[in-house]
Structure 1
Amino acid sequence: MVHVLSSRVLLRPTDPERSRAFYGRTLGLEIAREFGTGPERGTVYFLGGGFLEVSGRSTAPTSPDLQLWLQVADAAAAHKEVSERGAQVLRPPLQEPWGLVEAWIADPDGVKIVLVEVPVDHPLRYRPGL
């Protein structure tokens, strides 16, 4: 097995400044580092246990198959906050049949982002007998 020391998702937006505004201001992600200069410079954001790098430029939107899963403490509060900051809401928070609370938004290029709340009694957090 390859010993992975760090990881990040690389995102090549069609409009880097617009995407940096979305991830930095609308979502409120903290910057881990920046590199380069000019409009296509790189910005790396903290994503909990990983990173999101917005750098370069694409001539076409990202594949609709790419989706970001962001676990938050409170999906309703996160949804309200990003909605008030202008995020495109695809779906408000709902409890799914599998028990997670999910709200769906999209970035400026249409990348789907799920804001996920893991309830305290969900198997992802709750382990009887441990």
Structure 2
Amino acid sequence: MPAISLVTLAVADMARARAFYEALGLRAAPESNDEVVFLDGGGVVLSLYGRDALAEDTGLPDGRPGGITLAFNVKTPEEVPARLAVAEAAGARILKGPRTMPWGGVTAYFADPDGHPWEITWVDFALTEDGRILLDMGPAPEPPTA
């Protein structure tokens, strides 16, 4: 089964972006350098890469695909405003403050210094100690017979 192992964000200022994510508590790997930063995202690597370099590598204008929101899931509804305050202190712009959603979760949104939207959310998921979601996928489907 394929696994999502790395998410790359296009950034305008590598030092600023690295400082922001480190202030949120993510740690940079020793393989990081002035051109790319690899942050431990608890099972998924968050990569920071220069906007111009990503545009050149991907062929996408400005290196920016669209329509994506990244998320930090928390263990309790009360953690949503606390984590949002940490993001704001690190330099995030608050997009929407904490609110209870019609489906029962609690969510808030902020933008990082490069404008990437992030959600901080509590949903009644089982989480590991380091914050990874544990989905109850049930038994694996039987392989097709020929």
RMSD: 2.3
Q: What stretches of structure 2 of length at least 5 have no aligned partner?
A: 53-61, 127-135, 137-146
Residue 28 of structure 1 aligns with an amino acid whose one-letter code is G
Match of 1:58 among 26, 41, 51: 51
The sequence identity of aligned pairs, in percent, is 30
* TM-score, structure 1 as length reference: 0.74
Q: How does 1:90-101 map to 2 (within 5 A)?
A: 90-101=95-106
Task: Identify the match of residue 103 of structure 1 among 101, 108, 113.
Answer: 108
Corresponding pairs, count? 115
Higher helix residue share:
2
Correspondence list, 1:27-38, <5 A: 27-31=24-28, 33-35=29-31, 37=33
> 1:95, 1:65 → 2: CA distance?
23
The answer to whether the 8 A contact 1:64-1:111 is kept is no
Distance in 1 of aligned mates of 2:100 and 2:109: 12
- Number of the residue aligned with 1:85: 90
TM-score, length of structure 2 as denominator length: 0.67
Write the distance in 2 (CA, Å) between the matches of 1:23 and 1:36: 13
Which of 1 and 2 has greater Rg?
A: 2
